Structure 1
Amino acid sequence: MLTFNPSLTPSPQDNSLLTDLYQLTMAACYVGEGIAEKRASFELFVRSLPDNFGYLIAMGLAQGLQYLENWRFTAEQIDYLKSTGIFDHVTPEFWSLLQNKGFTGDVWAVPEGTAILPNEPLLRVEAPLWQAQIVETYLLNTINYQTLIATRAARMRDVAGDKAILLEFGTRRAFSPQGAIWAARAALGAGFDATSNVLAAKELNQQPSGTMAHALVMAIKGLSGSEDEAFMAFNRYFPGSTLLIDTYDTISAAQQLADKMATGKLEVKGVRLDSGDLGSLSQKVRSLLPTVNIFASGDIDEWELERLRAENANIDGYGVGTRLVTGQPINGVYKLVEIDNIPTMKQSSHKMTYPGRKQIFRRYNNGIISSDRLALADETIQSGEKPLLELVVKKGKVLKENESLEIIRQRVKASLKSLPKDTHKITEPTPIQVDISQPLEMLHKSLIV
């Protein structure tokens, strides 16, 4: 029996059980039917983009590969599964497979930071059927969530421009502590400058960044009777830190800081506005503090960034939280496309899939994506095309080195630069054309029953 862990924080060794029950029951069924070792191919893709999205930015592959490297079942985990009683009728061979095998398959994937469109596989797993089945849940979890965050972050960076400072402040609103770290990674990879999450910054070899909360101003003012003293106290221990000035009266606080700066009693490098009409307030604060960086926070997203830019707001940087790390999910799916060299496809209404192992061939015109061709993996590349899916795992061995956030940032930047102008729009964008190759279309039609 597994030891009860009240923290509910899984370690890498626990992640083999971080799957849905039906993945394990299906795997046991495959074993019983003698098909568990048949070679299977599953592809992870989205059928459609969220509303007002013109593209997705692929993210989360690194954590997926780390999971596959560590994927194996311990004796303790197997004992737990047996103790549930759910598996009382499975064949003994099922337990032997779990006990003796790590991941032995191949994985093809697009590099993190690549722009992706509907029906295009972000990742393909080619492995024994039982293995490819069990790993579905974890791969969807990390890639769906990080792709959502990376796409939102890329859109915000696109709207804010290169000069604005973007800080990830979403930990308290992320869906879990693990999700908070993944969100920080995805945001940084997609172009954000820093995160307030100290653990994420440590693990990602980044410098954490943050300001102060209203509580400090209220506590010190409550005891000393002065908002001024709160600013002076924080600056005493953290010289040059950004000061939060909207706890009481934003303009009055800015004037107090201006007076202190004029007399040399205080050096202020940044202030943060967290409420009110950010555009109007920023202009008034700028008139009082012309040399100070102005940061804004409070329900910032790409549409709010666009509105503030249209109003000529005097804002140098943004702290983005809730609307970055939450929102309409990326509905990535993981579907069987081939079993034992036999193409397969789902034919449910509105959920039909394309059969066979596939490749994405991307074509550019003067550095701008002109179209994508979704084709069978063994089709010949045409002149001017670039294949996007790369072999990253071979026979269970990870081939791809862990990329730095800077490399991923540069790929995101190049991806954004390659998008057509109308695809950048954050409201009713024009999608890039995805052509279905003739052999894929013929195969698709041949399997319709």
Structure 2
Amino acid sequence: MTYPALLANPKDYGLLTDLYQLTMTSCYMGEGLADRRASFELFTRRLPSGYGYLIAMGLAQAIDYLANLRFSERHLDALRQTGLFDHAPDEFWQRLGDGAFTGDLWAVPEGTAVFANQPLLRVEAPLWQAQIAETYLLNTLNYQTLVATRAARLRDVAGPAATLLEFGTRRAFSPQGALWAARAALAAGLDGTSNVLAAVELGRKPAGTMAHALVMVFAALEGSEDDAFEAFQRYFPGAALLIDTYDTVAAAARLADQGRPVAAVRLDSGDLVELSKAVRSRLPDTKIFASGDLDEYEIARLQRAGAEIDGYGLGTKLVTGDPVNGVYKLVDIDGVAVMKESSSKATLPGRKQIFRRYEGGQAAGDRLGLVDDTAAPDEQPLLQLVVKQGQVVQDVESLDAIAARTAAAVASLPMAVRQLENPAPYGVEISEALAALTARTRRHPASLR
């Protein structure tokens, strides 16, 4: 018996969805609705607790998904064997077998700061195609936006000079999630990742140090901690040494006494403020890295306390945390604006655009309007057409370009919005046209209160 790998593969994108996307598609086919032009928008109703903004990320994987969305004969046979689609119309099987994504995709560029109720992307396509895409698009944008936002906040607090490395593979939610987390972290401004596959695939050099196990092996079998350091430096002369397996200060003192240059050391436990100061006094020319469940709040605390730290390895807190609870909602069907009116989950109708106003290079407020609204002279529309009639119309962006956009986006926000403690809300107003459309579309006047 072979154990299934259960790895996400582009050839299986068709089945990588929730069941109800396919059952609804079957219903649309049977009722003659499948080709109606539908617009769905992906947004979050509220920001995670304590966050003043989000950094949009995951568009590249969304485009890849739409470009490869197919249903093979093997997929169709698997669906038939479930018995769930015994009453599905013949058109359901024919259209899945022959179909591909033929719609349009509008999105904010990766690395853009966004806020509650603002669409990160909009899919405009035949209803059945737009419906099936929901699950995968939410998965990639929700997770990568979470990691990118955390990475941007870490960079903002640590400052441009600090070296920030992504160490989250062992804590990410899955092997696939680990790869996406590494990408999102790099695209949001981190300097490197320890994930070798991610680094190689993204054209980067993997970054890392050593583990306590190496020191313990040498100490037990070869003689001492110093033997471990000497051996590791022999093969990796510029790598950081992990010096807190036993006595951090004593290890630093011995390294200083030996007189050999030490490029960097890493501290993974203990009082990082006092230990970093003690290490700096003994190894003044050595870079000091810290790791161990660090986040932006802890880095800010270490800085206030005067810690002597040049860089950070960031894992658990970077790749996990409060989720970005993005949703994907129908806003228009065949030119008819629609809205959800459920209590506390009401949505705004119509195809929308975000208009960002700038004053002296600083973001000074947004207007959430309709695609037909006109941008004012001091406003910039954020959503751009990236896929037209199934064809990609924008070049692939480098991670460096996305990271530069992320840094500029965060720097443009008011400090009150960027602060870690009790961030101020960023100003987002509703355009007159969108307000009027909402009033006309609403069936129950109290639904948006």
2:368 maps to which of 374, 380, 394: 374
Indicate the SS of the match to 1:171: coil
* Cα distance in 2 for residues equivalent to 1:400 and 1:304: 39
Does the CA-based 8 Å contact 1:73-1:98 persist in structure 2? yes
1:38 maps to which of 36, 39, 57: 36
**What per-residue deviation string (whole Å, max 9, x for no partner) do you get for residues 384-434 of structure 1?**
110000000100001121110010011001101110111110111012110
CA shift, 1:11, in A, is: 1.4
Does the CA-based 8 Å contact 1:82-1:88 persist in structure 2? yes
Give the structure 2 partner of residue 49 of structure 1.
47
Give the structure 1 partner of residue 182 of structure 2.
184
Residue 445 of structure 1 pairs with residue 439 of structure 2: yes
Give the structure 2 partner of residue 347 of structure 1.
341
Give the structure 2 partner of residue 357 of structure 1.
351
One-letter code of the match for 2:12?
A: D
Does the CA-based 8 Å contact 2:8-2:176 persist in structure 1? no
**What per-residue deviation string (whole Å, max 9, x for no partner) do you get for residues 250-298 of structure 1?**
101111111112xxxx321100000001011100110010000000000
* Cα distance in 1 for residues equivalent to 2:239 and 2:148: 28
Task: Report the identity percentage.
Answer: 62
* Cα distance in 1 for residues equivalent to 2:385 and 2:307: 46
CA shift, 1:322, in A, is: 0.3
Residue 284 of structure 1 pairs with residue 263 of structure 2: no
Does the CA-based 8 Å contact 2:105-2:388 persist in structure 1? yes
Indicate the SS of the match to 2:170: helix
Does the CA-based 8 Å contact 2:106-2:123 persist in structure 1? yes
1:436 maps to which of 414, 430, 435: 430
One-letter code of the match for 2:379?
A: E
**What per-residue deviation string (whole Å, max 9, x for no partner) do you get for residues 338-375 of structure 1?**
00110000000000000000000000111111110000
Residue 20 of structure 1 pairs with residue 14 of structure 2: no
Give the structure 2 partner of residue 103 of structure 1.
101
CA shift, 1:308, in A, is: 0.6
* Cα distance in 2 for residues equivalent to 1:34 and 1:191: 47
One-letter code of the match for 1:121?
A: P
Does the CA-based 8 Å contact 1:12-1:67 persist in structure 2? yes
* Cα distance in 2 for residues equivalent to 1:448 and 1:286: 64
Name the TM-score, length of structure 1 as normaliser. Answer: 0.98
Structure 1 gaps of 5+ residues are none
* Cα distance in 2 for residues equivalent to 1:437 and 1:241: 55
Residue 227 of structure 1 pairs with residue 221 of structure 2: no
Indicate the SS of the match to 2:330: strand
CA shift, 1:5, in A, is: 6.6
2:264 maps to which of 270, 287, 295: 270
Q: Tell me the matched-pair count.
A: 443
1:199 maps to which of 190, 197, 214: 197
Alignment of 1:49-448 (within 5 A): 49-261=47-259, 266-448=260-442
One-letter code of the match for 1:228?
A: D
Does the CA-based 8 Å contact 1:240-1:267 persist in structure 2? no
Indicate the SS of the match to 2:183: helix
* Cα distance in 2 for residues equivalent to 1:135 and 1:305: 39
**What per-residue deviation string (whole Å, max 9, x for no partner) do you get for residues 324-349 of structure 1?**
00001000000000001100000000
One-letter code of the match for 2:424?
A: T
* CA 1:96–1:437: 2 relative to 1, 3 Å: same
CA shift, 1:299, in A, is: 0.8
CA shift, 1:135, in A, is: 0.5
* Cα distance in 2 for residues equivalent to 1:138 and 1:400: 21
Q: Give RMSD over aligned pairs.
A: 1.0
* Cα distance in 2 for residues equivalent to 1:275 and 1:5: 38
One-letter code of the match for 2:207?
A: S
* Cα distance in 2 for residues equivalent to 1:388 and 1:273: 42
Indicate the SS of the match to 2:84: coil
Structure 2 gaps of 5+ residues are 444-449
CA shift, 1:442, in A, is: 1.1
CA shift, 1:228, in A, is: 0.8
* Cα distance in 2 for residues equivalent to 1:438 and 1:298: 50
* Cα distance in 2 for residues equivalent to 1:220 and 1:274: 19
Indicate the SS of the match to 2:152: helix
Residue 8 of structure 1 pairs with residue 6 of structure 2: yes
CA shift, 1:225, in A, is: 2.7
* CA 1:44–1:4: 2 relative to 1, 3 Å: farther
CA shift, 1:4, in A, is: 7.7
* Cα distance in 2 for residues equivalent to 1:72 and 1:9: 17
* CA 1:4–1:375: 2 relative to 1, 3 Å: farther
* Cα distance in 2 for residues equivalent to 1:136 and 1:443: 25
Does the CA-based 8 Å contact 2:53-2:115 persist in structure 1? yes
* Cα distance in 2 for residues equivalent to 1:284 and 1:236: 26
Indicate the SS of the match to 1:173: coil
One-letter code of the match for 1:416?
A: V
* Cα distance in 2 for residues equivalent to 1:31 and 1:180: 37
One-letter code of the match for 2:389?
A: K
* Cα distance in 2 for residues equivalent to 1:401 and 1:142: 20
* Cα distance in 2 for residues equivalent to 1:447 and 1:387: 24
One-letter code of the match for 1:428?
A: N
Does the CA-based 8 Å contact 1:337-1:344 persist in structure 2? yes
Indicate the SS of the match to 2:92: helix
Name the TM-score, length of structure 2 as normaliser. Answer: 0.98
Runs of 4+ in 1 over 6 A off after TM superposition: none
Give the structure 1 partner of residue 446 of structure 2.
none
One-letter code of the match for 1:135?
A: A
